[in-house]
């Protein structure tokens, strides 16, 4: 009884001490939780502002869209994503059998009409030329004939003039003789008057013959000069006028021929251009303008594409760069020319080539990967590979993997300033997670080996006991079967 009372009295202070310890435990737990939350908030907010490291960086490169130049169906496609191509390589063959040839037919009809008019103008011109030749020969023959006729008439008229002059001289001599007889009163004045009249008529006749002679001489001279005036030259004047009309028509046909030739040349040039355009639309070969790698293919053989549709996209790996996001505070130190380290890319270091406060959809369309989204008071740092170290990193990766490194477009990397001190907490947590994971894997890989060894030893001990036990000589127990390896079944059966 006394022992029981003493034990109860000794146990009474324990609840009191436990109650007293509860506030201390709560205060300690609250302090630990508050410290952890504060630490998390500080590591979440402060490091992105002052960190010299950024894991929000991606490898990017300029992209070239290879589009279809015509409407049609894709006959063949000779590229696949990741395939390396050189400048001028054929990517796709496109054909189009449904072409609108209405414009070409209309142009050919107009050209045919112009060709027919030109042929008609040329035929009229040649006809006029032949007619002119015949008129020229006819006019020349008539001119020669008229010249001979005028020359003969001139000779005749000159003879008549000479005859008239002789007759007038004769009449003059008769008048002089009769005047002398009248002066001697041998004859009367009545006999002299008819003689004077005859003399006067002879003079007028001589003048008329001279006038006819001069007329013929003037006609001959005009005929030689190409002036056709007079009754005798009416016929040849008509021929000459006809010749002038035909000559004008021939010149008009020549002008029309030149105009039609120019029109026909213009029509033919349009036909050639239209035919060339149709040939270009009938089939096209999509070729790569520069070397690089095919990022993606947006078409398949047999698919119908419209002009301007994207067939594939080409990435120029030689112009790859890294887009990293830094805060405005750190952006002041990320000037153009600043050297940085790049972890996770095919090049180990780079140089800041540009700093952009923001981007747009037009800028993103020019590159293979859209720029990462920035938050408030953040900017982009464009980092170009450092050629002095890119070659060494490339050679090391080649020796390690026994294959050339890829373009790594779209790969997330970590960018660190060469003189950076403050790391990025996300990178720190990731490295800590990797370290813990690797340590856990090593521990797990060791424990199965120890358990297997322990299991093997236990099985051997139970097997020895089974051989020494006569009661269990017929067969092993169920407990022993669980520990026996499969290879011991043959030994036990024996």
37, 178: one domain:
no
Of all helices (H) and strands (E), which one includes residue 349? strand 349-356
172, 25: one domain:
no
46, 107: one domain:
no
Are 366 and 356 within 8 A, CB to CB?
A: no
Domain closes at, from 33, 50, 67: 50
**What residues of the chain score a pLDDT lower than 70?**
1-22, 36, 39-52, 187, 330-332, 388-407, 420-436, 440-494
Centroid of chain to Cα 155 = 90
212, 141: one domain:
yes
Domain closes at, from 221, 246, 267: 267
Give bridge partners of residue 76 from the DSSP assignment.
Answer: 93
Structure tokens that stand for 102 in this block: 């209405």
Which residues in 206-309 belong to E strands, given as ranges? 283-287, 292-297, 304-305
Q: Quick one: pLDDT at residue 393?
A: 46
Residue 267's CB is within 10 A of a number of other CB atoms, namely 19
166, 250: one domain:
yes
246, 113: one domain:
yes
pLDDT in tens, 308-329: 888 888 888 888 888 888 877 7
Domain closes at, from 267, 300, 325: 267
Instruction: Give the closest residue to 426 by CA, choosing from 80, 119, 53, 114.
Output: 53
How many domains does the chain divide into?
A: 3
Instruction: Give the closest residue to 64 by CA, choosing from 318, 305, 366.
Output: 366
Tell me if 397 is assigned to some domain.
no
111, 260: one domain:
yes
461-466 contacts at long range (C-beta below 8 A, 24 or more positions apart): 463/488
130, 42: one domain:
no
Structure tokens that stand for 19 in this block: 């109650």
Tell me if 375 is assigned to some domain.
no
Handedness of CA 14, 16, 22, 24 (dihedral sign): negative
149, 17: one domain:
no
Q: pTM of the prediction?
A: 0.49
Cα 102-106-110 angle, rounded to 5 deg: 170
Tell me if 471 is assigned to some domain.
yes
Tell me if 124 is assigned to some domain.
yes
229, 136: one domain:
yes
Q: Quick one: pLDDT at residue 86?
A: 87
| CA Rg value for the chain | 63
Q: What dihedral angle (degrees, nearest 10) is formed by the CA atoms of 358, 361, 366, 369?
A: 80
21, 152: one domain:
no
Structure tokens that stand for 320 in this block: 């790859």
Tell me if 203 is assigned to some domain.
yes
Tell me if 317 is assigned to some domain.
no
Tell me if 379 is assigned to some domain.
no
Tell me if 295 is assigned to some domain.
no
The CATH number of the domain holding residue 263 is: 1.10.287
34, 144: one domain:
no
Domain that holds residue 110: 103-267
């Amino acid at each position: 009884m006394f022992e029981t009372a003493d034990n109860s009295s000794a146990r009474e202070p324990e609840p009191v001490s436990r109650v007293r310890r509860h506030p201390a435990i709560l205060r300690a737990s609250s302090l630990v939780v508050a410290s952890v939350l504060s630490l998390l908030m500080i590591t979440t907010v402060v490091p992105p502002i002052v960190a010299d490291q950024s894991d929000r960086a991606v490898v990017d490169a300029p992209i070239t869209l290879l589009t279809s130049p015509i409407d049609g169906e894709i006959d063949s496609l000779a590229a696949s994503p990741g395939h390396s191509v050189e400048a001028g390589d054929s990517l796709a063959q496109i054909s189009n059998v449904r072409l609108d040839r209405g414009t070409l037919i209309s142009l050919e009809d107009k050209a045919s009409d112009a060709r027919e008019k030109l042929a008609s103008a040329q035929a009229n011109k040649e006809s006029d030329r032949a007619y002119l030749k015949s008129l020229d020969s006819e006019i020349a023959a008539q001119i020669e004939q008229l010249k001979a006729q005028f020359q003969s008439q001139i000779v005749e008229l000159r003879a008549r003039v000479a005859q008239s002059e002789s007759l007038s001289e004769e009449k003059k001599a008769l008048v002089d003789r009769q005047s002398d007889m009248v002066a001697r009163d041998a004859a009367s004045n009545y006999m002299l008057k008819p003689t004077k009249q005859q003399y006067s008529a002879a003079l007028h006749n001589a003048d008329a013959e001279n006038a006819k002679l001069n007329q013929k001489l003037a006609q001959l001279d005009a005929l030689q000069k190409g002036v056709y005036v007079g009754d005798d030259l009416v016929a040849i004047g008509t021929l000459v006028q006809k010749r002038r009309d035909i000559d004008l028509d021939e010149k008009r046909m020549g002008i029309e021929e030149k105009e039609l030739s120019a029109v026909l040349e213009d029509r033919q040039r349009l036909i050639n251009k239209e035919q060339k355009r149709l040939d270009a639309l009938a089939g096209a070969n999509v070729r790569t303008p520069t070397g690089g790698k095919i990022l993606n293919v947006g078409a398949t053989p047999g698919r119908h594409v419209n002009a301007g549709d994207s067939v594939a996209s080409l990435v120029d790996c030689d112009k790859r760069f890294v887009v990293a996001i830094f805060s405005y505070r750190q952006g002041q130190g990320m000037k153009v020319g600043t050297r940085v380290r790049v972890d996770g890319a095919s090049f180990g270091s780079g140089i800041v080539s540009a700093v952009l406060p923001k981007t747009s959809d037009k800028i993103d369309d020019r590159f293979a990967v859209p720029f990462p989204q920035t938050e408030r008071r953040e900017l982009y740092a464009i980092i170009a590979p450092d050629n002095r170290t890119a070659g060494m990193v490339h050679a090391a990766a080649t020796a390690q993997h026994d294959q050339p490194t890829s373009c790594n477009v779209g790969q997330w990397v970590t960018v660190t300033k060469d003189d950076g001190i403050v790391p990025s907490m996300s990178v720190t947590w990731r490295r800590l997670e990797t370290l813990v994971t690797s340590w856990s894997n090593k521990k797990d890989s060791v424990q199965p080996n120890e358990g297997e060894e322990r299991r093997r030893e236990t099985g051997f001990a139970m097997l020895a006991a089974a051989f020494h036990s006569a009661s269990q000589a017929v067969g092993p127990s169920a407990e022993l079967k669980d520990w026996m390896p499969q290879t011991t079944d043959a030994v036990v059966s024996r």
